[in-house]
Amino acid sequence: MMLEFTEEQKMLRDTIRTFAEKEVAPLAYEIDRDERFPTESFNKLKNMGLLGITAPVDYGGAGAGYTELCIVTEELSVACLSTAASWGVHACLCIDNIRRNATQEQLRKYLPPLCEGIKIGGLAMTEPSAGSDVMSMRLRADKKGDSYILNGSKIFISNGPVGDVFVVYAKTDMEKGARGVSAFIVEKEFPGFSRGKKFEKMGWRGSPTGELIFEDCRVPAKNLLGRENSGALVLMSGLNTERVCLGAMSLGLARGAYECALQYAKERVQFGRPIASFQLIQAKLAEMAMEIELSHLITYKGAKMADMGLHRNMNLIASYAKLYTARAAMRITTEAVQILGGYGYMKEFPVERMMRDAKLQQIGGGTDEVQMMIIARDILGL
Ligand SMILES: Cc1cc2nc3c(=O)[nH]c(=O)nc-3n(C[C@H](O)[C@H](O)[C@H](O)COP(=O)(O)OP(=O)(O)OC[C@H]3O[C@@H](n4cnc5c(N)ncnc54)[C@H](O)[C@@H]3O)c2cc1C
């Protein structure tokens, strides 16, 4: 499989790299400190036509593929993981799931305002008692006439505190487990919808995370996304591309930390020599570089498979990408702090933020343990 970028993809990478360095990185510290949504960068991404990167051009999107989605994700993540997360939740979790599963009427109604940034999107799957065991969700959706009435809540929802449109998973048949799950498009204006608490977090602090509450929330039946009781298919196919995107986030985050540590190691002098001349520091840098190369290969292999339309047959590669890159990002950001020594622990350098941000890569979108379960099931044919 050829993973070389095309000339257009290289141009996109260079454009986003320059944008991220000049416009996104300078805001990263403040967004993290103030725990606020990166509105400025979001608006600039809108002006660049990138909010609906995979949405069709006819609906206001860029009509690009998953490789392009990962390129933008990676470059934003080098500069600021929170910005990449806020954008990625909107562009990938919300818009791309709608693009792949919606009716023509739903596409016409929801994609243009989301692609133009008039509305912000999110996706709500996790519940207080249903995380890794997502199919045990208890948000129920009862059909009444031409509406579904939703009752329950969702937790830890990225863009929850600021979002306007959410892809929401609920049980339309409480007895049928995964076969009783359906997906809906829910607007914040629907009666019975409200937001609960906004969470304070260790990392991803510029990506607001909140609770969504549904109290007799009336959702028009025409807002069913996909068929009734087929929500698990929507969810699982979306999870694979989401995991590859999370791989691109981890890759970018690791690169950001490595680049900072490499430069520092060349400049910092101890015992009369740059610390990069010490073999113990060289070993760290060598491992970091190797893991970044492997993260790149596994992530873009996943993106390429998604571009080839293999979403439903890429559980293994998506889990490899998610798990490997998340662990690499955690190791690399931690080693970057170590290479910077005391300065690495201070907020003057970005690596302390990057280390905090990295931990979520091992939890969100399916934990490390869940990825290992998926891989083991696949190789054992269970
Ligand atoms: C900042 C943030 C943003 C998020 N954004 C979103 C979002 O936008 N939308 C959304 O729907 N969700 C979101 N989530 C939720 C996220 O996907 C879940 O937190 C994650 O899937 C883990 O679920 P949990 O937190 O309930 O942990 P649990 O499932 O309770 O797991 C706790 C621990 O037990 C382990 N474990 C669980 N089951 C097994 C098993 N069978 N074998 C071995 N170990 C096991 C887990 O790996 C973990 O270590 C977000 C979470 C965070 C923290």
Residue 209 Cβ inside 6 Å of ligand 1? The answer reads: yes
Predicted pLDDT of residue 9: 98
Question: Domains of the chain, with CATH numbers?
Answer: 7-115 (1.10.540.10), 121-229 (2.40.110.10), 232-380 (1.20.140.10)
Residue 131 Cβ inside 6 Å of ligand 1? The answer reads: yes
Mean pLDDT of the region 63-91: 98
Atom of ligand 1 nearest to the CA of 122: 8
Mean pLDDT of the region 138-161: 98
Predicted pLDDT of residue 354: 98
Q: What are the tokens at 178?
A: 């995964």
- For the cut 90, the answer to whether the pLDDT of residue 2 exceeds it is no
- For the cut 90, the answer to whether the pLDDT of residue 370 exceeds it is yes
Residue 250 Cβ inside 6 Å of ligand 1? The answer reads: no
Residue 366 Cβ inside 6 Å of ligand 1? The answer reads: yes
CA 308 to chain centre: 21
What is the CA(358)–ligand 1 centre distance, in A? 15
Residue 277 Cβ inside 6 Å of ligand 1? The answer reads: no
Tell me if 183 sits within 8 A of 167, measured CB to CB. Answer: yes
Residue 48 Cβ inside 6 Å of ligand 1? The answer reads: no
244-257 pLDDT per residue, tens: 999 999 999 999 99
Q: How confident is the model at residue 380 (pLDDT cuts 50, 70, 90)?
A: very high
Q: How confident is the model at residue 226 (pLDDT cuts 50, 70, 90)?
A: very high
Predicted pLDDT of residue 3: 83
Residue 130 Cβ inside 6 Å of ligand 1? The answer reads: no
Q: How confident is the model at residue 120 (pLDDT cuts 50, 70, 90)?
A: very high
Atom of ligand 1 nearest to the CA of 373: 42
Question: 340 vs 234, which has greater pLDDT?
Answer: 340
Q: Is 242 a catalytic residue?
A: yes
Which residue, 333, 349, 350, 336, is CA-closest to 275? 336
Q: How confident is the model at residue 310 (pLDDT cuts 50, 70, 90)?
A: confident
Predicted pLDDT of residue 347: 96
Residue 156 Rama label (left phi>0; alpha psi -120 to 50; beta): left
Mean pLDDT of the chain: 97
Atom of ligand 1 nearest to the CA of 369: 47
Sole residue written with tokens 């910077």? 340
What is the CA(243)–ligand 1 centre distance, in A? 13
**Which of 35, 75, 211, 242 is labelled catalytic?**
242
Q: How confident is the model at residue 237 (pLDDT cuts 50, 70, 90)?
A: confident
88-97 pLDDT per residue, tens: 999 999 999 9
- For the cut 90, the answer to whether the pLDDT of residue 318 exceeds it is yes
Predicted pLDDT of residue 168: 98
At residue 232, what is the residue type? A
- For the cut 80, the answer to whether the pLDDT of residue 273 exceeds it is yes
CA 330 to chain centre: 16
Predicted pLDDT of residue 362: 98
167-217 pLDDT per residue, tens: 999 999 999 999 999 999 999 999 999 999 999 999 999 999 999 999 999
What is the CA(369)–ligand 1 centre distance, in A? 10
Mean pLDDT of the region 72-79: 98
CA 379 to chain centre: 26
**Atom 23 of ligand 1, nearest CA residue:** 131
Predicted pLDDT of residue 312: 73
Q: Which of 87, 367, 375, 382 to mutate to test the pocket of ligand 1 (most atoms within 8 A of CB)?
A: 367
CA-angle at 275, arms to 269 and 281, nearest 5°: 165
